[in-house]
Amino acid sequence: MTRRDLNRVLAAPVLAGGWLEALAESAAERDGRMKWWREARFGMFVHWGLYSGLAGTWEGKPVATRGGMEWIQQRVKSDTDTYAKRAIPLFQPKPGFARQWTRLARQAGCKYLVFTTKHHDGFALHDSKVSDYDAGSVLKRDLVKEIVDACRADGLKVGFYHSVIDWHHDQYEYARSKQLPHPLKDKPYPNVAREHGKYIDYLHGEVNELVSNYGKIDILWWDYSAVDFQGQDAWRAFDLMDKVRGRQPAVIMNNRLFRIPEAGFTGMGTSAIAAQLNPKYGDFITPEQHIPATGMPGVDWETCMTMNTTWGFSEHDHAWKSNEVLIRNLIDIASKGGNYLLNIGPKGDGSVPEESVRGMEAMGAWMKANGESIYGTSASPFEKLTFGRCTQKKAADGKTRLYLHVFDWPKDGKLTVPLSNGGKAQARLLAGGKRLGVTAGDRQVTVDVGGEAPDKIATVVELRLEGTPEVVKG
């Protein structure tokens, strides 16, 4: 049975539940569906919504200089009316804003773009029939369509971030979780009685519009759940995923409709992740703001990270990561077999902060010369290398290409790699192609790289090996 048949079966309401588990996707089908994503390695995240115009300022004062300003409504404990009244006049997307994002993403070497169709504040960027708290009603524009069109024009795969948490909806029963944020947390519901099921219907309604009206969607990036409120109970998560798959059979989804160990979570902290994922809870796990210490064989993962410390734009956060950190993070992640989803937080008019433009451009310049060592590679065969990192690729001729990313240039101009099968190895600088001398011993291969690092951030030395690398331990 093909995936399409499966989806037809799932779409038939009578059969849905029971068949689902029995007809799970085969490993080969799954590999096929995940292929582009595993090869892509680098994506752009975009946090943009009503909060962007507020820019981390409330009543003329900075709310903070650090931390997520897409949470500003919750940080200042504002009800939705007050928040919307202040934020809407400051949210004025310039015509054509989305092309600046997608050109930048493409130039940086990103293969996909994931953007906030709705964040926790509940304001939807599309033109929704089930909501009037949306760009269609408020701005008479469909910003999702504008962004999707821009992605297609620049050849990027499209990802929808969608928050299942919703601070504006009057049926969202926030008291059911002690752990999820809400501006009115610990206060009684203003409208006394709420029925969470009605919120879930609304959530499913908006998601249905998103996956039905914009052509092929490549990623659904859910956010997020708590240990005490998650999954089927909180969001009717399995039904939601089935509906999405019914419309978008090839879609790739993350794990954040859940927060249980089987779905890759061990607790509430952002680093409380487990290196495991039963596919029924999603396709990949989502380490946030950190790079796991080791790779996770057999688990697809993506580190999402900010360029300063906030996801949504703040005019007060100047803690920008250096180009060196950004580029080395991407390399580190690729060397462990993961993807890097790097965030920009455009301003209320949709323009990208200058510092983010510069950082992305620096990554692009590096990727232009060295992208081959990132795209389509797999994790390093070495546990640790003193000089930096390594990625690898199997070539059609059966040879292995090792990409040695040199962070610390050897003082004596000799790069040593703990390999026992370097006999016929060949080496060159990836950028520019200069051939390098190789000496092979029983326990190591030595590459003559010369005295001066061509690239102070990361120079890539390509080492072609016969067969599979035989790593010398210890």
Q: What is d(CA 371, CA 110) in angstroms, rounded to the nearest whole number?
A: 10
Tokens at 401, concatenated: 């290409």
227 to 51, 194, 231, 275, 288: CA distances (angstroms): 27, 22, 10, 17, 17
Q: Which is nearer to ligand GLC, 42 or 71 (CB)?
A: 71
Which of the 8 DSSP states describes residue 320? P
Q: What's the closest the beta carbon of residue 2 comes to ligand GLC, in angstroms?
A: 34
From the list 66-74, 96-104, 352-360, 416-424, the region that binds ligand GLC by CB under 6 A is 66-74
Enumerate the β-bridge partners of residue 339. 302
Instruction: Produce one character per residue of 277-301: b if its CB has 16 or more CB atoms within 10 Å, e if not.
Output: beeebbbbbbbbeebbeebbeebbb
Q: What is d(CA 216, CA 218) in angstroms, rounded to the nearest whole number?
A: 6
Q: Which is nearer to ligand GLC, 68 or 136 (CB)?
A: 68
Please pick, from the candidates 56, 68, 93, 348, the single residue that binds ligand GLC as defined by CB under 6 A: 68
Q: Which is nearer to ligand GLC, 314 or 400 (CB)?
A: 314
How many residues interact with ligand GLC (rule CB under 6 A)? Answer: 9
- The answer to whether residue 288 forms part of the interface with ligand GLC (CB under 6 A) is yes
Q: Assess contact for 320 and 353: CB atoms under 8 A.
A: no
Please pick, from the candidates 121, 127, 166, 223, the single residue that binds ligand GLC as defined by CB under 6 A: 223
Q: Which is nearer to ligand GLC, 286 or 370 (CB)?
A: 286
- The answer to whether residue 283 forms part of the interface with ligand GLC (CB under 6 A) is no
Please pick, from the candidates 257, 304, 330, 367, the single residue that binds ligand GLC as defined by CB under 6 A: 304
- The answer to whether residue 311 forms part of the interface with ligand GLC (CB under 6 A) is yes
- The answer to whether residue 115 forms part of the interface with ligand GLC (CB under 6 A) is no
- By residue count, the chain amounts to 474
Please pick, from the candidates 43, 48, 70, 182, the single residue that binds ligand GLC as defined by CB under 6 A: 70
- The answer to whether residue 121 forms part of the interface with ligand GLC (CB under 6 A) is no
Q: Which is nearer to ligand GLC, 82 or 270 (CB)?
A: 270
From the list 68-76, 87-95, 453-461, 466-474, the region that binds ligand GLC by CB under 6 A is 68-76
SS3 at position 373: helix
Sign, CA torsion 149/118/345/371? negative
Q: What residue ranges in 119-236 does DSSP mark as E strands?
A: 157-163, 219-223
Q: What is d(CA 402, CA 335) in angstroms, rounded to the nearest whole number?
A: 11
Which of the 8 DSSP states describes residue 126? S
User: What mask of x and - would describe binding to ligand GLC in positions 313 to 332, judged by CB under 6 A?
Assistant: --------------------
Tokens at 142, concatenated: 């469909």
Residues at the site binding ligand GLC, with contacts judged by CB under 6 A:
47, 68, 70-71, 223-224, 288, 304, 311
